[in-house]
Amino acid sequence: MGGERGRRKISIVDVATKAVIQTIAANVPSANRLKFTPDGTRVLVSTLSRPDVVVFDTATRREVKRIPVGRGAAGIQMQPDGARAFVACMPDSYVAIVDLRTLQVSGKLEAGRQPDGMAWAGRP
pLDDT digits (tens, 9 = 90+) for 8-21: 888 899 999 999 99
Instruction: Confirm whether pTM is higher than 0.75.
Output: yes
For 45-87, write each residue's pLDDT tens digit: 998 888 899 999 999 999 999 999 988 888 999 999 999 999 9
Residue 3 scores a pLDDT above 60: no
Q: What is the rounded distance in angstroms from the CA atom of residue 62 to the CA atom of residue 81?
A: 23
List Cβ neighbours of 118 (8 Å cut-off, separation of 6 or more). 75, 76, 77, 86, 88, 95
pLDDT band, very low/low/confident/very high, at 91 (cuts 50, 70, 90) = confident
Q: What percent of the chain has pLDDT over 70?
A: 93
- Write down all domains in the chain, each with its CATH number in brackets: 29-110 (2.40.10)
